[in-house]
């Protein structure tokens, strides 16, 4: 059987949920098409004087509940299908967290690791000016994703201000604090994973303290998740990145591992550990698994070997539908991405609110509000999953699609 693309697997979840809820066919008809797609050519003058053309995209999936919102990804294998799926997941995620946003995504097919700082800045500014008419504080609000960071948001916003002739910091989120960024944003996604785990651990009786946690990835989301679980008394037994993975049944101190990775550029080789490769954490002996690298990590091939009792999807789209089925059969609980990793966009929303108010909150205020949103999102989706007697993922889709459908009905779009 041909492997499903991320967009196709997203559509399967959406279609099944629409059928389960008995929604009018117009709902699926609208949400199975992105609202708008922009593709731009970005001819970049490289440091050596040659010109290389990159492709930039920005996709708005659905804006019934508010301006669209979603990250910008810099990745050498960026493709339209994945970007469309990521944009749709943002619609569902924003609706699950009950944020007043639709969904979007975008990016450039480049490898930021091999561009110089100058090339990265020129490319980002060219992308910002090329899509400026497609973004806006009340239209579409980008943020970072894989391969981008606060510095890239800063270049983007500076270019946007120049074109607009006005300072509107709410046009992009996860900015540096000195440019109107929110306290707590850089660690929010991993922190949010931890808050939903607290709720899930109560419902399914899997205590965090003393549990063994395996994490795929050691980037923004994974690191923050690792620190939170470690601080709550869990043992981080496995961690990986794109260059390899490490396992130690006695536990790995994630702060020391971060220092090691900062120095060596990889987690592989960390003292006292067994080498398990990049995908090793997915099937490692553990209680809680946090896939926090990229999409399509858990497949029909490896799902049968997953040992975790609880999966917290830090990454977007880490589980293929066939893997879901296998894990459901094994009684593994999966807290889906559109709830588990909503912490980042939630604090991005807080940043947007603070930018518009021109009044800034303390880190504690941000953290308390984030905790409330994440725990409520989990409770709301659990209620839906109980109502329809379906796994949490379908419960999350039911919650999100129900909310989006209601907005579309009021708007008269369906």
Report the interface residues with ligand NAD, using CB under 6 A.
144-147, 189, 216-222, 240-242, 278-279, 292-294, 314-316, 341, 344
Instruction: Give the nearer residue to ligand NAD in terms of CB position, either 123 or 408.
Output: 123
- Residue closest to ligand NAD, measured at CB: 219
Cα first-last separation, the chain:
35
39 with 55: CB under 8 angstroms? Answer: yes
Closest CA to 312 of 244, 252, 389, 232: 232
Give the contacts of 253 (CB within 8 A, at least 6 positions apart): 230, 236
Round to whole Å and give the CA distance between 162 and 144.
21
User: Closest approach of Cβ 201 to ligand NAD, in Å?
Assistant: 21
Round to whole Å and give the CA distance between 315 and 70.
14
Instruction: Give the nearer residue to ligand NAD in terms of CB position, either 170 or 314.
Output: 314
Instruction: Give the nearer residue to ligand NAD in terms of CB position, either 63 or 337.
Output: 337
Round to whole Å and give the CA distance between 179 and 150.
10
239 with 213: CB under 8 angstroms? Answer: no
| Residue 105 falls in the annotated catalytic set | yes
310 with 333: CB under 8 angstroms? Answer: yes
Instruction: Give the nearer residue to ligand NAD in terms of CB position, either 120 or 405.
Output: 120
User: Closest approach of Cβ 26 to ligand NAD, in Å?
Assistant: 30
User: Closest approach of Cβ 75 to ligand NAD, in Å?
Assistant: 9
DSSP secondary structure letters along 255-276? HHHHHHHHHHSSSTT-TT-EE-
257 with 218: CB under 8 angstroms? Answer: yes
313 with 286: CB under 8 angstroms? Answer: no
Q: Which among 35, 69, 93, 105 is annotated as catalytic? A: 105
Round to whole Å and give the CA distance between 55 and 92.
26
Closest CA to 314 of 186, 188, 209, 172: 188
Round to whole Å and give the CA distance between 328 and 116.
45
307 with 284: CB under 8 angstroms? Answer: yes
Instruction: Give the nearer residue to ligand NAD in terms of CB position, either 28 or 281.
Output: 281
User: Closest approach of Cβ 372 to ligand NAD, in Å?
Assistant: 19
Round to whole Å and give the CA distance between 89 and 29.
17
Instruction: Give the nearer residue to ligand NAD in terms of CB position, either 145 or 351.
Output: 145
Instruction: Give the nearer residue to ligand NAD in terms of CB position, either 128 or 292.
Output: 292
- Tokens linked to 180: 């109107």
- Tokens linked to 178: 């000195």
Round to whole Å and give the CA distance between 367 and 159.
31
Q: Which H, E and C letters describe 53-97, residue by residue?
A: EEEEEEEEEECCCCCEEEEEEECCCCCHHHHHHHHHHHHHHHHHC
Would you tell me the crossing angle of helices 150-164 and 117-131 to the nearest 10 degrees?
A: 50
Instruction: Give the nearer residue to ligand NAD in terms of CB position, either 129 or 299.
Output: 299
Residue 39 φ/ψ, nearest 5 degrees? -125, 130
DSSP secondary structure letters along 178-202? GGTPPTT-TTHHHHHHHHHHHHHHH
User: Closest approach of Cβ 142 to ligand NAD, in Å?
Assistant: 12
* Residues with active-site annotation: 105
């Amino acid at each position: 059987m041909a492997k499903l693309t991320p967009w196709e697997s997203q559509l399967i979840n959406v279609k099944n949920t629409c059928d389960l809820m008995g929604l009018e066919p117009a709902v699926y008809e609208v949400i199975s098409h992105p609202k708008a797609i922009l593709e731009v050519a970005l001819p970049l003058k490289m440091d050596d004087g040659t010109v290389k053309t990159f492709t930039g995209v920005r996709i708005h999936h659905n804006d019934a509940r508010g301006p669209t919102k979603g990250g910008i990804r810099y990745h050498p294998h960026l493709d339209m299908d994945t970007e469309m799926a990521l944009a749709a997941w943002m619609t569902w995620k924003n609706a699950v967290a009950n944020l007043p946003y639709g969904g979007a995504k975008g990016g450039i097919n480049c490898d930021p690791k091999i561009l110089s700082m100058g090339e990265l800045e020129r490319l980002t500014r060219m992308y910002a000016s090329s899509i400026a008419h497609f973004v806006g504080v009340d239209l579409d609000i980008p943020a970072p994703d894989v391969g981008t960071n606060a510095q890239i948001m800063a270049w983007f916003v500076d270019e946007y201000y120049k074109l607009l002739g006005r300072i509107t910091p709410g046009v992009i989120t996860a900015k540096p604090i000195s440019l109107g960024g929110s306290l707590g944003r850089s660690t929010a996604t991993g922190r949010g994973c931890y808050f939903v785990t607290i709720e899930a651990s109560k419902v399914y009786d899997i205590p965090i303290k003393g549990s063994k946690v395996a994490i795929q990835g050691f980037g923004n989301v994974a690191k923050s998740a690792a620190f939170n679980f470690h601080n709550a008394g869990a043992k981080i037994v496995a961690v990986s990145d794109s260059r390899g993975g490490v396992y130690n049944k006695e536990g790995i101190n994630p702060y020391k591992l971060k220092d090691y990775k900062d120095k060596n550029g990889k987690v592989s080789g960390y003292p006292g550990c067994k080498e398990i490769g990049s995908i090793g954490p997915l099937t490692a002996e553990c209680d809680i698994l946090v896939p926090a690298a990229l999409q399509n990590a858990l497949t029909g091939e490896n799902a049968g070997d997953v040992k975790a009792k609880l999966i917290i999807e830090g990454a977007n789209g880490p589980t293929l539908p066939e893997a879901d089925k296998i894990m459901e059969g094994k009684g593994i609980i999966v807290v889906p991405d559109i709830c588990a990793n909503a912490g980042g966009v939630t604090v991005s929303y807080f940043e947007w609110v603070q930018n518009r108010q021109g009044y800034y909150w303390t880190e504690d205020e941000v953290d308390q509000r984030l905790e409330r949103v994440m725990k409520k999102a989990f409770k709301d989706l659990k209620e839906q999953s109980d109502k329809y007697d379906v796994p949490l993922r379908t419960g999350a889709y039911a919650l999100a699609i129900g909310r989006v459908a209601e907005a579309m009905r009021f708007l008269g779009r369906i």
